[in-house]
Structure 1
Amino acid sequence: MRQAILALGHQILKESCKDLSPELQQPEQLITDMWETMQAADGCGLAAPQIGQPIKLFIVDSQSIYENLDETGRATYFSKGDTGIKETFINAKIINYSEQYWEDEEGCLSIPKLFQPVSRPWQITIDYYNANLEHQVRTFSGTTARIIQHEYDHTRGVLYIDHLKPLTKKIIASKLKKIKKGRVSTSYPIKYQSNNKL
């Protein structure tokens, strides 16, 4: 079932999330809801706190991005042999970052209609459990690594705008205020802190 996505201003988006525990009821349903919610919003990633669940769980779809790029785009944004992923990450921890950084524009379903360039490591290694609760340690690069880092940040209470320079934050301050006050329309259900507008 599709869920409303929490907008900038909700305290839960700034909280450090807890591990997904065996006691959680119906994690499969939560994961299914997240995929449905993300796809309906035309997103490429979604973290559990964005739908009000402060747990270390997020999903990533870089495969759709890869499929929509031409050969030049694929060579720019993906490493050779990488065709993207559709993956669930549970209790993830990034255990290694490459020294090589690259900058690309990022957006967020919780911060609608705002995009800013963010610098991140090109490659990461991450320790996590997949949707079948199988332990994984995998290395990702390019756009796939970027989306993972963005969603991983969500589970630590960090938003992509937190990576921006102070001057950039000042420049976009009025736009952020509009989002917090619910003055931005979206094609997907979104829940604002100020007036609980859906």
Structure 2
Amino acid sequence: MKLPIVAYGDPVLRKKAEEIDEDYPQLKELISNMFDTMYGAHGVGLAAPQIGLPIRLFVIDATPFADDEGAEEGLKDFKKVFINPIIVEESGEKWNFSEGCLSIPDISEEVSRYPNVKINYLDENFEEHEVDLTGLAARVVQHEYDHIEGKLFTDKLGPLKKAMIKSKLDNISRGQVRVDYRMKFPAQKKGR
């Protein structure tokens, strides 16, 4: 089932998310719905805060990047569930890449991130993993990890860029944006 994606300006996107355990209600269904929602919005990652849940959970399917010219090895099968993840290490020289976000539609900006990341997490069966990721896989993980830390990619922009997109961000929170997926807008009156 496709769920509505929470738009920029909603307080849930600024909360540091809470850990969950295997008794979290209807977790398997939630994970399935998150993948459906992500695919329906043509995304490659989706964090639980983006559907209004302040929990440490995100899903990724970076296979669309595998078809790009010069794509890195490993993206073809990079479909994962991350529960209670912890970034253990970030390394390398930061590099810029244009990022967007399903909660911030129609805005993409160059964001500087580390090329390498080591992350510890639980999968959907609550089995523990620790993996080293590089390139786009590392970038997508860092972007989604930021969501569960209450951060957005726009936080990484310089003051001038932030000022230039402020009115667009305000419009998004008011629902003055066109998207082909369901969204919940914080500045719209309830019941509309």
TM-score relative to the length of structure 1 = 0.92
Supply the AA of the counterpart residue of 1:29: E
Using the alignment, how far apart are the partners of 1:105 and 1:14 within structure 2? 22
How well do the aligned residues superpose, as a CA RMSD in angstroms?
1.3
AA matched with 2:99 = E
Structure 2 partner of 1:109 = 102
The CA deviation at 1:21 is 2.2
User: Which residue of 2 is the match for residue 53 of structure 1?
Assistant: 53
Which ranges of structure 1 fall in alignment gaps of 5 or more residues?
none
Report if aligned partners of 1:18, 1:55 keep a CA contact under 8 Å in 2.
yes
* Aligned equivalent of 1:82, options 67, 74, 86: 74
User: Which one of 110, 114, 122 corresponds to residue 129 of structure 1?
Assistant: 122
Q: Taking structure 2 as the reference length, what is the TM-score of the superposition?
A: 0.95
Q: Residue 82 of structure 1 aligns to which amino acid in structure 2?
A: G
Structure 2: which 5+ residue stretches go unaligned? none
Partner of residue 171, structure 2: 178
Matched AA of 2:150: G
The question of 1:95 aligning with 2:88 is answered yes
Distance 1:125 1:63 in 2: 20
Residue equivalent to 1:38: 38
Give the distance between the partners of 1:102 and 1:8, measured in 2 at CA. 25
Identical positions, percent: 38
The yes-or-no answer on 1:8 pairing with 2:8 is yes
Instruction: Identify the residue that residue 145 of structure 1 maps to in structure 2.
Output: 138
Do the aligned partners of 1:17 and 1:157 also contact (CA within 8 Å) in 2? yes
- The 4+ residue runs of structure 1 with deviation greater than 3 A are none
Q: 2: CA distance between counterparts of 1:102 and 1:193? A: 33
- In 1, Cα distance between the equivalents of 2:46 and 2:191? 20
Secondary structure, counterpart of 1:154 in structure 2: helix
C-alpha contact (below 8 Å) 1:182/1:197 kept by paired residues: no
Aligned counterparts of 1:6 and 1:188: Cα–Cα separation in 2? 11
| Residue in structure 2 matched with residue 157 of structure 1 by the alignment | 150
Asked if 1:189 corresponds to 2:182, the answer is yes
Deviations 1:122-178 (A, max 9, x none): 010000001121100000010111000000000000000001111110111111111
